[in-house]
Structure 1
Amino acid sequence: MNHSFNAGRLVKLLALAPLFLVGIVNLAHAEAWPTKPVTIVVPFPAGGTTDVLARAIAVKLGPVLGQSVIVDNRPGAGATLGAALVAKAAPDGHTMLMGAVHHTIATSVYKKMSYDFQKDFAPITTVALVPNVLVVSTSKPYKNVSDLVADAKAAPGKLSYGSNGNGTAQHLIGTQFQQISGTTILHVPYKGSAPLTTDMLGGQIDMSFDTITPVLPFIKQGKLRPLAITTAKRSSVLPDVPTMQEAGISGLDIGTWFGLLVPAATPKEITQRLNKEIVQIIKSGEFQKQMAEIGAEPVGNTPAEMARQIQEETEKFAGLVRAGNVKIE
């Protein structure tokens, strides 16, 4: 009787052994991690807000982890190229994506994607929120939104706006701006803020709805003129610039958030450690001051809160994409 009981118990224990081993291996990986440099993939060229935030985190995260943290710029396809690379990366905590609101829009805009933004990534934390701003070159005659709308209505398709790519927040803001104002403005997609701003300063395009960070230095130098903030409240770094609502474009309220994610199968011990270390950086006085200077509002939330934010924004933008009939093959 005892023999059969022990044998049965042994069979059960052997059946559970692989589960115990998986747990031990995961724990060992988490304790040893990181074993090599950590990479933050930025799906835009250097110089834009995504890049600036990634580098601000990387500088402070490296010493905490005891490994260098490298920023790898992989622009293209409306930020989906870099995201696809991270989705396929080894889920060992050595590769992160500096994701953004653009990824929640791309889900509805692109017909075919090699990854599912909600299923193939594990959120770490939202780093910051940055308002977008409608800017024109100071060589243009527009002093306010009304002037620009009047000119756009007088000659449909004559004016153009640049974005950081098809399916990005700037693209959708431009689409919604046209819907509300009853204008037709040509959309010109770029791979990122740097080439877009260069062309705007050179007069190749008339305006952009970019985030504040990359255009702020040119606003301060008097080369770009801000006409309106695209969020419901004014920006602390541009307090004299009206919101779209105040400028007569009612119902336009879109800003840009940026946050870190890892491949979905990354061990929970690693994602928890990353959240803890990165949130501490975000909450630090030095980082907060740095963000204030570039017009960013630091966040530093939990993975669950970021996941909820992604789900809500994906649903919201799906509605806007349908309403604006925005499609990309």
Structure 2
Amino acid sequence: MQTPGFHPRAALTALALSLATCAAAAQGWPAKPITLVVPFPPGGSSDVLARALTTPLSQSLGQPVIVESKPGAGATLGADYVAKAKPDGYTLLMGAVHHTIATSVYKKLPYDFEKSFVPVTTVALVPNVLVINAKSPATDVKSLVALAKASPGKLSYGSNGNGTVQHLIGTQFSSQTGIDILHVPYKGSAPLTTDLLGGQVDMSFDTLPPVVQHIKGGKLRALAVTTARRSSTLPDVPTLAEAGLKDFDQGTWFGILAPAGTPKEVVAKLNAEMVRIIQSPDFRKRMEEAGAEPVGNTPAEMAAQIRDDTAKYAKLVKDAKVAID
């Protein structure tokens, strides 16, 4: 029985017009500036990667691509802003592994990371590094652990916020070494690095880009990288596994996402332009200097990465008993 007032032909015509409008809009995209939201303060890895990408992207698209910082709540505030933005390709998110962790850490998120966004491409993988102030008496992981055991609860480590990968690395490190260290959450790498240099916090497990120049300059001391392999940027720095911590392999990825519902043609164009830039010699050189490994994959590959990490970190979050209201 046909619902009163319902006309199949009219409905099909409306659908066809809607699809045609979307296709036309996609063909004319971009017709105005694009905003890339970075959910951390300026100066951190996400900001460094965003600016390295947006300069050539602006040139190739013929429109400005503006980096806008919206930090807070472990990168979830910026993500929520983009999730609620119009899905027209003009508002994008610099997402990170932190967002897959937040799914399990936060009891109530105003968005669903897997459903509220469409992946574009992973920009880069960045090793995390256990770093301390150069004035610390600790010279390696073993002596740092001994120092922490001598003064339980006195040493502190900073992170980019509650529920970020640095936070979980700290809980895993503390658990495996049997030490009691205080977690100090920050809004991002820049304020954390400032306090680490000033001695307000004793250590961090941050990504390489914000700290690599301070390490090379002798102000900070790198004790170990948290990934399974050593970093080509710091080849003399051992892994935590080499330092005696079993099955330790934690790193950070950063990638571009758009609000769910963004036209497929726009996502495809963004992916093609970004992958071309990411795989270029100039971008690769900039990433090597920053201690990052460029990726540039397909939306489907990034989506699989998000699914895998969401499941992986759900277990780590449960084991660490980390929860935020």
> After TM superposition, is the score higher than 0.5?
yes
The residue type equivalent to 1:126 in the other structure is T
The residue type equivalent to 1:180 in the other structure is Q
CA distance, structure 1, for counterparts of residue 94 and residue 8 of structure 2: 44
Cα shift at 1:278: 0.4
Aligned residues: 319
> Equivalent residue for 1:233?
229
| Per-residue CA distance 1:142-187 (angstroms, 9 max, x = gap) | 1000001111122211100000100111001001101111111000
CA distance, structure 2, for counterparts of residue 15 and residue 76 of structure 1: 44
CA distance, structure 2, for counterparts of residue 139 and residue 328 of structure 1: 34
For structure 1, the residue ranges without an aligned partner over 5 or more in a row are 1-10
Q: TM-score scaled to structure 2, two decimals?
A: 0.97
Q: Does residue 177 in structure 1 map to residue 173 in structure 2?
A: yes
| Per-residue CA distance 1:1-41 (angstroms, 9 max, x = gap) | xxxxxxxxxx7654421221122101111011112110000
> Equivalent residue for 1:153?
149
The residue type equivalent to 1:317 in the other structure is Y
- Give matches, 1:39-188, under 5 Å: 39-188=35-184
CA distance, structure 2, for counterparts of residue 261 and residue 15 of structure 1: 32
Cα shift at 1:327: 1.3
Q: Does residue 304 in structure 1 map to residue 287 in structure 2?
A: no
Q: Does residue 325 in structure 1 map to residue 315 in structure 2?
A: no
CA distance, structure 1, for counterparts of residue 10 and residue 100 of structure 2: 44
SS at match of 1:140: coil
CA distance, structure 1, for counterparts of residue 8 and residue 80 of structure 2: 41
SS at match of 2:115: coil
CA distance, structure 1, for counterparts of residue 49 and residue 147 of structure 2: 36
SS at match of 2:120: strand
> Equivalent residue for 2:187?
191
CA distance, structure 2, for counterparts of residue 303 and residue 127 of structure 1: 11
| Per-residue CA distance 1:84-110 (angstroms, 9 max, x = gap) | 000000000000000000000011001
SS at match of 1:212: coil
SS at match of 2:108: coil
Return structure 1 stretches of 4+ with deviation > 6 angstroms. none
The residue type equivalent to 1:75 in the other structure is P
For structure 2, the residue ranges without an aligned partner over 5 or more in a row are 1-6
CA distance, structure 1, for counterparts of residue 156 and residue 319 of structure 2: 21
The residue type equivalent to 1:21 in the other structure is L
- Give matches, 1:210-289, under 5 Å: 210-289=206-285
RMSD: 0.9
